[in-house]
């Protein structure tokens, strides 16, 4: 009975945060922890390691943005999409996937959505399909990014648990499985659209209605962006930092063994390297540090940090308080059917709104239960199921930016264009994870 009451507190806190929107999900998570503490539950460990990594990475990205680096990357994306508009359904997710891989956050998709929408309109393509696949790709790429908090935490947990899987092994499975899943999803969804005859924008009644009303903006064509002198340099510096993180993580790996007793652990190395990269960008590109605080990536990143802090803390508090009961009830089932872990992670991610928060809350319990390392690595992409409820910022932004009416949220809430491609993407990624993992791990 008490477990049920406490679980209702968790759900109520998440529901309240979702209703308030944005950073409030983190606020409500803290409120939920407080209520659980009043009910006699000892608060779990705060996810300060995860939050610290997010903050340091966002600091470097924000510095790069102010230096003009994001404009340069968007300009490259603009050129690539306009050069190959027939392949928009494939190129859009490739671009958002790569940007997330590099940046460690899916919020970089905000900058490319207007370009995707414009190119779709110019070529009589319904924007809903490339936008939905691109948004899903930006979310699942978090589980393959070398500097994402989810990957760093999960790989560290696997190493500490002596599972035989390290940082490099995790990425070796996650990168090909998630990327190929994105491409397979794009092909499947495009085939479905062709069968239904729903690829052309001018056949959409809602678009024709809005066009007659004059509420659809005409395509403006390619815009020449004025890049600052330090734009390209800031991207180069950030990429050097990314390579430095991967190189250090490789040489301190137990399997490589170049450095057996490193002075800094991987978490500390990522944080220090990213803050150093931010410093170098500020100095070399002559960035005004006060502008960094107002950068869109900084605001969204710090909001994400608060969300992870509150929600992950809430999830960890509840799971840790009832870990024995959870283990007793689910250990045998998950040991025999490891794929069910992906289902559990999928539903948890839909509520916790964060790959890092979901990993922090549930992966340690999965390890304690005895789920095989292969099963956990294969199921890892399921923590990206932030598309189940159409309330995540990138989903809402895609709906808002598409003035043609093709990207809409239905009255049934779950009736939105992100759900099917998202579920297909995760299902394929998990399947490929088992395939690649059985060979690599």
How many C-beta atoms surround the C-beta of residue 37 within 10 A? Answer: 12
Determine the Cα–Cα distance for residues 99 and 106; give it in Å rounded to an integer.
8
328 versus 132: the higher-pLDDT residue is 132
pLDDT at 222 (0 to 100): 67
Q: Which domain holds residue 97?
A: 1-438
| 59-68 average pLDDT score | 93
| 18-40 average pLDDT score | 89
Q: Give the pLDDT band of residue 337 (cuts 50, 70, 90).
A: confident
Structure tokens at 116: 């995707």
Q: How many domains does the chain have?
A: 1
Classified as helix, coil or strand, 203 is helix
pLDDT at 232 (0 to 100): 93
Determine the Cα–Cα distance for residues 26 and 343; give it in Å rounded to an integer.
24
Q: Give the pLDDT band of residue 18 (cuts 50, 70, 90).
A: confident
pLDDT greater than 90 at residue 59: yes
pLDDT digits (tens, 9 = 90+) for 106-125: 888 888 888 898 898 888 88
User: Across all residues in the chain, what is the average pLDDT?
Assistant: 88
Determine the Cα–Cα distance for residues 426 and 176; give it in Å rounded to an integer.
13
Q: 275-289 as b/e, with b when 16 or more CB fall inside 10 Å? A: bebbebbbeebebee
Query: What is the end-to-end Cα distance of the chain in Å, rounded?
Result: 42
pLDDT digits (tens, 9 = 90+) for 385-441: 988 888 788 888 888 888 888 888 877 667 888 999 999 999 999 999 999 999 998
List alpha helices for 322-418, DSSP H: 323-336, 340-352, 355-369, 373-379, 393-401
pLDDT at 413 (0 to 100): 67
pLDDT at 420 (0 to 100): 93
Name the residue among 312, 425, 427 with its Cα closest to residue 359: 312
Render 42-94 in DSSP notation, one character per residue: PP----HHHHHHHHHHHHHHHHHHHTTHHHHHHHHHHHHHHH-GGGHHHHHHH
pLDDT at 262 (0 to 100): 82
Q: Which range has the worst mean pLDDT, 146-150, 153-157, 409-413?
A: 409-413
pLDDT at 374 (0 to 100): 93
Q: Cβ(133)–Cβ(186) under 8 Å?
A: yes
353 versus 178: the higher-pLDDT residue is 178
| SS3 per residue for 409-433 | CCCCCCCCCCHHHHHHHHHHHHHHH
């Amino acid at each position: 009975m008490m477990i049920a009451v406490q679980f209702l507190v968790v759900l109520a806190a998440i529901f309240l945060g979702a209703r308030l929107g944005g950073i409030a999900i983190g606020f409500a998570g803290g409120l939920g922890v407080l209520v659980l503490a009043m009910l006699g539950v000892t608060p779990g460990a705060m996810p300060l390691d995860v939050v610290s990594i997010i903050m340091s990475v966002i600091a470097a990205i924000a510095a790069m943005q102010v230096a003009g680096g994001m404009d340069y990357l968007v300009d490259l994306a603009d050129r690539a999409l306009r050069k190959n508009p027939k392949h928009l359904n494939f190129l859009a997710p490739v671009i958002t996937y790569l940007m997330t891989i590099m940046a460690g956050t899916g919020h970089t998709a905000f900058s490319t959505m207007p370009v995707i929408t414009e190119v779709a309109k110019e070529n009589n393509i319904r924007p809903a399909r490339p936008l939905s696949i691109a948004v899903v790709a930006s979310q699942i790429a978090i589980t393959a990014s070398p500097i994402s908090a989810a990957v760093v935490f999960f790989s560290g947990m696997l190493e500490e648990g002596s599972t035989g899987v390290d940082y490099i092994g995790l990425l070796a499975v996650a990168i090909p499985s998630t990327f190929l899943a994105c491409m397979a999803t794009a092909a499947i969804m495009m085939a479905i659209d062709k069968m239904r005859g729903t690829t052309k924008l001018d056949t959409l009644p809602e678009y024709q209605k809005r066009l007659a009303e004059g509420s659809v903006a005409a395509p403006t064509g390619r815009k020449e962006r004025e890049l600052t002198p330090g734009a390209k340099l800031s991207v180069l510096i950030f990429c050097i930092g990314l390579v430095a993180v991967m190189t250090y993580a490789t040489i301190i790996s137990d399997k490589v063994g170049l450095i057996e007793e490193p002075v800094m652990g991987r978490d500390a190395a990522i944080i220090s390297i990213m803050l150093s990269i931010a410093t170098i960008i500020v100095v070399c590109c002559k960035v005004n540090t006060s502008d960094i605080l107002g950068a869109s990536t900084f605001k969204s990143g710090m909001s994400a940090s608060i969300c992870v802090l509150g929600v992950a803390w809430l999830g960890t508090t509840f799971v840790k308080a009832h870990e024995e009961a959870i283990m007793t009830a689910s250990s045998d089932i998950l040991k025999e059917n490891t794929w069910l872990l992906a289902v559990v992670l999928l539903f948890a991610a839909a509520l916790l709104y964060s790959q890092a928060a979901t990993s922090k809350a549930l992966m340690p319990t999965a390890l304690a239960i005895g789920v095989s390392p292969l099963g956990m690595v294969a199921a890892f992409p399921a923590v990206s199921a932030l598309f189940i409820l159409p309330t995540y910022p990138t989903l809402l932004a895609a709906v808002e930016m598409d003035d043609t009416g093709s990207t809409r949220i239905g009255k049934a809430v779950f009736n939105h264009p992100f759900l099917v491609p998202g579920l297909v993407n995760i299902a394929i990624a998990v399947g490929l994870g088992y395939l690649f993992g059985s060979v690599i791990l």
